[in-house]
Amino acid sequence: MDIADMSSRVLLQTYASILTELVERGVTRSRNAPVGDIAEFLVSIAYDGELAPPSEKSWDVRGKDGRKIQVKCRLVVPDSKGTQQYSPFRSWDFDVCVFITFDAYSYDVMQAWEVPAAGVQALAAPVPHVGATAARVNTKTRFADVAGTMDITSRLQAVMEHLD
């Protein structure tokens, strides 16, 4: 199938069918843009954990070890010079945050970091117009410089490689 030959309407219908199939397989939980659900799904497998209920505001996955894990992700164009913001933090009731960048063209995991909550708070910049406790970091943030941070890129890449 050559998607370049498809009409925009057929592309949208195909995309909707793909999103429905991903929900039915349990890879995503909604038919919204799938990157956030995919990130949480990968982390739940990598940490042998459980996804949080959809209404949970502070964390996304509870790891097998009991830690509460917040997941933040972005689609990034490889070799892009631009900086993209992760969604803001509105609360700090989590133990670690996993930041993931995905290749915007393939959804391959480009980079993944596990950062302790205290380190995230130290890095995050306030976002006053979003709320008093809101803060965010971006895709150019140097996570490796934060004490206790772990590069988990290969771990998440391995999970992605084994998705069927």
33-78: per-residue pLDDT in tens?
A: 899 999 999 999 999 999 999 889 899 999 999 999 999 999 998 8
Answering whether pTM is above 0.75, one says yes
Q: What are phi and psi of 112, to 5 degrees?
A: -150, 135
Q: How confident is the model at residue 134 (pLDDT cuts 50, 70, 90)?
A: low
Q: 39 with 68: CB under 8 angstroms?
A: no
Domains of the chain, by residue range, sit at 1-32, 33-161
Indicate whether 16 pLDDT > 60: yes
Q: Reduced to 3 states, what is the DSSP secondary structure of residue 124?
A: coil
Tell me the chain's radius of gyration from C-alpha atoms: 17
Q: Reduced to 3 states, what is the DSSP secondary structure of residue 144?
A: helix
Indicate whether 101 pLDDT > 60: yes
> Distance between CA atoms of 80 and 98, rounded to whole angstroms?
21
> Distance between CA atoms of 76 and 52, rounded to whole angstroms?
26
Say which CATH topology domain 33-161 has.
Answer: PvuII Endonuclease; Chain A (3.40.210)
